[in-house]
């Protein structure tokens, strides 16, 4: 089982973790022999998926296509938002009271900088 990381914040997504997967492959059309690339799986943690969906459209046609798909997921059912909310709660509980960064702070920089 390969280790998966959120494309945006680089958080490790262990198997069983909630995440959004974007599958991508390329294939030739109208060309013989037909060729097909390996399928790639791109993962986002729930927080990044929701954050991306709420944010402005990205640049680039492929980014835009993925953004529209993630927006569709986030807007069609609150389950993904709830997963992001739960993960954020776990994270804020690990912060010490004095506001300094926890030593075992997960890699959420990309999320917070958004
Ligand atoms: Zn992430």
Q: Which residues surround ligand 1, an ion (CB under 5 A)?
A: 6, 8-9, 11, 45, 48
For ligand 1, the distance from its centroid to the CA atom of residue 28, given in whole angstroms, is 32
Mean pLDDT value across the chain: 86
pLDDT of residue 99: 57
pLDDT digits (tens, 9 = 90+) for 9-65: 999 998 889 999 999 999 999 999 999 999 999 999 999 999 999 999 999 999 999
For ligand 1, the distance from its centroid to the CA atom of residue 49, given in whole angstroms, is 7
CB 102 within 8 A of CB 95: yes
What's this model's pTM, rounded to 2 decimal places?
A: 0.75
Please choose, from the candidates 79, 29, 90, 16, the residue with its C-alpha nearest in 3D space to the C-alpha of residue 49. 79
Mean of pLDDT values over 74-86: 95
């Amino acid at each position: 089982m390969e280790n998966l990381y959120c494309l945006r914040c680089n958080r490790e997504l262990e198997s069983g973790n909630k995440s959004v997967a974007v599958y991508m492959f390329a294939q030739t059309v109208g060309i013989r022999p037909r060729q097909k690339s390996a399928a790639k799986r791109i993962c986002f943690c729930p927080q990044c998926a929701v954050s991306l969906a709420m944010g402005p459209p990205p640049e680039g046609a492929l980014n835009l296509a993925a953004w529209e798909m993630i927006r569709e997921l986030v807007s069609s059912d609150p389950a993904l938002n709830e997963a992001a909310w739960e993960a954020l709660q776990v994270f804020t509980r690990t912060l010490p009271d004095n506001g300094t960064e926890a030593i075992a702070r997960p890699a959420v920089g990309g999320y917070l900088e958004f």
